[in-house]
Amino acid sequence: MRALLGGSLTLVMSAALVGALGTPASAACDTPWGSLRKGTLTGVAKGPLERVRTGRHACYDRLVIDVAQSGFGHRVKYVDQVYMDASGDLVPLRGGAKLEIIVQSPAAPGYPSTSPNLADVSGYTTFRQVAGAVSFEGKTTLGLGVRARLPFRVFTLPRDGGGSRFVVDVAHTW
């Protein structure tokens, strides 16, 4: 009887612990964004693109592009290769898939628009490399190397003090 009671108590405690901890983060992720092109290249910001930064979240990796003004066009899509505007030079990117990100905003003076490593993404789940492709004729192009072709979303948020934060989230899984 004592063994039966001990076994039942262990089973109840295990079930309670699983309930308290919830489901794993990957099972709770809702990322139905798809992988088709997003955005349009309408509207050009008069203020410059100032910086690029990244972040890691439970369900996705995030790229944030700070622009000094709002109302700019943008386009993000998977491509076979990312090329520099004007020269046509290839932008080498690590990863199994490549996102081309175009923001209708010129780069700020001193912004490293052709840097092969705009942000350190070592240890990220999805991101493999963030590279500048060029800033040319009022638009700035970036290449984002990712682990595989995964769902992504794009949106803008207001920035404290004016301007916008352009956000690209790429999911860890389908």
3 in a domain, yes or no? no
140 in a domain, yes or no? yes
Q: pTM for the full model? A: 0.83
Residue-by-residue pLDDT tens, the chain, 174 positions = 445 444 443 443 444 433 444 444 455 899 999 999 999 998 788 889 999 999 999 999 999 999 999 889 999 999 999 999 889 999 999 999 999 999 999 999 999 999 999 999 999 999 999 999 999 999 999 999 999 999 999 999 999 989 999 999 999 999
Range of the domain at 56: 49-171
104 in a domain, yes or no? yes
7 in a domain, yes or no? no
34 in a domain, yes or no? no
119: closest CA among 37, 33, 61? 61
Q: How many domains does the chain have?
A: 1
133 in a domain, yes or no? yes
Residue 157 vs residues 6, 44, 69, 79, 162: alpha-carbon distances, Å = 55, 17, 11, 26, 10
**CATH at 147:** 2.60.40.3500
95 in a domain, yes or no? yes
16 in a domain, yes or no? no
pLDDT at 14: 40
Phi, psi of 166, rounded to the nearest 5 degrees:
-95, 125
